[in-house]
Amino acid sequence: MTAVAAAGTLAVAIAAGAAAATLPAGTAAAATLPAGTAAAPASTADAYLAVASGHQGAARAAQADTISGAQLVIDTERVRFGLQRSEDVAAAQATAAQAAAKAAAAGAAAAKAAAAKHPKRTVVTRQATEPSGSPRQIAEQTLRQFGWSSSQFSCLEPLWERESGWDVTAENPSSGAYGIPQALSGSLMASAGPDWQTDAATQIRWGYTYIQGRYGSPCGAWAHEEADGWY
């Protein structure tokens, strides 16, 4: 478009020079025409200007068509790449979901294998509200927690009286048995609580768990004590 405009300007300049050369100084162009003849364009330069203007208009139209075509291509590419990005996001999300599922399955399998390899240990649980009173009173209060009737205390009382005199710090110098139930060794009672060396409730709870697992009830333990001298 710049080239066309320059060419038009040069043509106008040439035409203007030619017109100036053919007309006498100070004479109007119309004076050379015979009477009754239709008026010609004001000057040859005007004709060249019209032609140049036509070329410029055509150039602008061509440029507009080119811009419109380029814009259409750009818009098409935007749509295409936009859709491609959406597909990429969907694919990435699907991959992440598959990876998470595999990790969860692997974790569950590992936990199952660990559980099979290391079975749960039986632990004596501490009650929310600890009984209070003397060791004998605490023992009477907690019998029912193990499913025993109060009559079982008539067997428990002589059993632990013979073993330890109901003393939380009683220790057998020969065997190392310790506490009210005379646990052998005393550290076994740590499963019932960290204060197993001095707390009567902790020792009694451990002693009940031992009696229940080995003899079923205090009276069963007392029967063994009377027959063999130990339980």
Peptide bond into 185 cis (omega under 30): yes
The pLDDT value given to residue 41: 46
What are the sequence ranges of the domains in the chain? Answer: 2-117, 135-228
- Residue 150: what residue type? S
Which position has the higher pLDDT, 15 or 49?
49
- The three state secondary structure string of the chain is CHHHHHHHHHHHHHHHHHHHHHCCCCCCHHHHCCCCCCCCCCCHHHHHHHHHHHHHHHHHHHHHHHHHHHHHHHHHHHHHHHHHHHHHHHHHHHHHHHHHHHHHHHHHHHHHHHHHHCCCCCCCCCCCCCCCCCHHHHHHHHHHHHCCCHHHHHHHHHHHHHHHCCCCCCECCCCCCECCCCECCHHHHHHHCCCCCCCHHHHHHHHHHHHHHHCCCHHHHHHHHHHHCCC
pTM: 0.46
**90 phi/psi in degrees, rounded to 5:** -60, -40
The pLDDT value given to residue 7: 42
Length of the chain: 231
**119 phi/psi in degrees, rounded to 5:** -60, 155
The 10s digit of each residue's pLDDT in 27-37 is 444 334 445 44
The 10s digit of each residue's pLDDT in 204-215 is 999 999 999 999
Please tell me the distance from the alpha carbon of residue 158 to that of residue 155, in angstroms, as a whole number. Answer: 6
Which position has the higher pLDDT, 203 or 86?
203
The pLDDT value given to residue 193: 96
The 10s digit of each residue's pLDDT in 135-192 is 999 999 999 999 999 999 999 999 999 999 999 999 999 999 999 999 999 999 999 9
The 10s digit of each residue's pLDDT in 72-122 is 555 555 555 554 556 666 777 777 777 777 777 776 676 666 555 544 333
Structure tokens at 227: 């027959």
Phi-psi region of 15 (alpha: psi -120 to 50; beta: other; left: phi over 0): alpha
The pLDDT value given to residue 188: 97
**54 phi/psi in degrees, rounded to 5:** -65, -40
The 10s digit of each residue's pLDDT in 16-70 is 444 444 334 444 443 344 454 444 444 555 555 555 566 566 656 555 555 555 5
Residue 178 pairs in a beta bridge with 171, 183
The pLDDT value given to residue 39: 46
The pLDDT value given to residue 6: 41
